[in-house]
Amino acid sequence: MSVKRNRSQYRGRQFDAANAFYRDTLGMSIVMDHGWIRTFAAGRDATQQISVATECGSGTAVPDI
């Protein structure tokens, strides 16, 4: 078995700051945006991803992991 995707998720409240860093500075693309979670990916195959979430959907808090 091989790793096909590496994705991390972080709690955040400032999507503008996340855009400035991950998209504008690192050149990652926004590949998912549900309003409460935004995922950025690097490269055409999107194997490296990072998500910034304000909640876990339905108002559930983002866990401290």
Q: Domain holding 29: CATH number? A: 3.30.720.120
Q: How many whole angstroms separate alpha carbon 47 and alpha carbon 4?
A: 6
Mind listing the pLDDT tens digit for each residue in 29-60?
999 998 888 999 988 888 888 889 887 767 77
**Residue 13, domain member (yes or no):** yes
| CB of 38 closer than 8 Å to CB of 55 | no
- With respect to residue 31, please indicate whether it lies within any of the assigned structural domains: yes
For residue 59, being part of any structural domain is answered with: no
pTM of the model: 0.76
